[in-house]
A = this chain, B = another copy of it.
Amino acid sequence: MTITVNLIHFTNAAVDANARAVMQFSVLDWAACGLAGAAESSFDDFVTANAAEGPCQILGGGTASPTNAALINGTLSHALDFDDTHFAHIGHPSVAVVSAALAVAQHINATTHDMIDAALIGAESSVQVGLWLGRDHYQIGYHQTATAGAYGATVAAARLLKLNPKQIRAALGLASTMASGLKSQFGTMGKPLNAGLAARCGVEAALWAKSGMTSADDGLQGPLGFGETHQGQNNPTSIGQGHWQMTTVSHKFHACCHGLHAILEALFEITVDPNTVQSIHVKTHPRWLSVCNIKSPRTGLECKFSYAQTAAMALSGINTGDIEQFSDANAKDQTLMALAAKVKVTADDQLSEMQCHVLIKAGGVEYVASHDLAAPMPLNTRTEKLLKKASGLVGLDKSKALWDACNRGSLHDFTALLK
């Protein structure tokens, strides 16, 4: 069976309870990141240009057509780069998929429950398509959040629209000729835009297929298909075989590069007076040394890519989940700089990309800790951490209300909180 056939079957699959529980967190996280992204205002002109009277809620206020709501919300929810990540294929599954699912759900008056089910199926599909495309696809320059994300968004939209198998096939074919997104956009507004384009691609592909538009028979795996043309590795996948990738999605609890998260979690386990620290020795996977190891960051933005600075912040009790802490002022803080200077980072190829080890010498005592982001996180820990993160982004009351609306109530109860 080709991946296209697998995705057609999977579109209407029953959902797994554990994966769904995690997806529900991702929907909360998506809303909090999106509202904070909208408040940041850099995309205001873009939102204004694409908003219109329509059935769908825009994050931060306003409405739009289903396609433009997906475009706008996909972009805004990725604006802070604080949304969930899946390391299996290296992509952010929720920004494209939840934005698409929500837009279509509002368009057809679906329930919150069905919207979250569709988002789960879509997000799972996007990770699986990403695995099928493989690391070559990512390494050569394609932004998996956008390319794999477009297929996830298509599947989510197709499920909500109750497309028949022939229509789902056409929708996947249309997505294959629309999906795009390059990593060369990183560091520009083009990166969040890529997520918005993927969300819109899914909504358009599904709506147009439903209206009878025809397309390639197997747009993904067929001749001259997306895989063949976009350096796909054609890896085997486990779509619909019982293993749900979304149970191990990572939520960002720190407002910095994901390469720094394992060390920040490890440092939580160590309590030490920062004034007594003599040395901090971090061991991490070699790939991160060229990604997030700025020794002496000069700006708040550079702090987000610095083992030294974030370790110093964490040991000093600064909340690394709070975006505001990644400020130019903290980059220039003498006490933090002195502590950061004591950090040594070395590569250890025995560690995975998601593991980190730290050894601190302080007051003649040695403290060690390790963390593996891939280790399963108990649901109650995830709840606690995500509600804390969401509170930091949108306030305690709103995050509680959003979480309630993810669990019960009508879709309108949820969308009313996105203004």
Contacts and interface: CB of A to CB of B under 8 A. Distances in A.
Interface stretch (A82-90, A186-194, A407-415): A186-194
A92 to B, nearest CB: 15
A59 interface: no
Contacts of A141: 224-225, 228-229
A73 interface: no
A180 interface: yes
A226 B194 CA distance: 14
Contact of A46 (B178, B188, B208, B224): B208
Interface string A195-208: 00100000000011
Interface string A225-242: 110110100000000000
B213 A185 contact: no
Interface stretch (A215-223, A334-342, A348-356, A366-374): A215-223
A189 B178 CA distance: 13
Contact of A182 (B143, B182, B208, B226): B226
A46 B141 CA distance: 32
Contacts of A174: 190, 193
Contacts of A177: 143, 146, 180-182, 184-185, 190, 193-194, 197
Residue from A193, A213, A225 whose CB has the most chain B CB atoms within 10 Å = A213
Contact of A189 (B143, B190, B214): B214
B190 A222 contact: no
A132 interface: no
A65 B71 CA distance: 16
A166 to B, nearest CB: 13
A190 B216 contact: yes
A183 interface: yes
A182 B49 contact: no
Contacts of A229: 140-142, 182, 231
B228 A216 contact: no
Contact of A188 (B45, B188, B193, B215): B215
A182 B213 contact: no
Given A182-B224, A184-B219, A224-B184, A207 B49 contact: yes
A55 to B, nearest CB: 13
A58 to B, nearest CB: 16
A212 interface: yes
Interface of A: 45-46, 49, 52, 65, 140-143, 146, 173-174, 176-185, 188-190, 193-194, 197, 207-208, 211-216, 219, 222-226, 228-229, 231
13 contacts: A45-B211, A46-B208, A49-B207, A141-B225, A143-B177, A177-B182, A177-B190, A177-B194, A184-B216, A185-B215, A185-B216, A185-B219, A193-B208
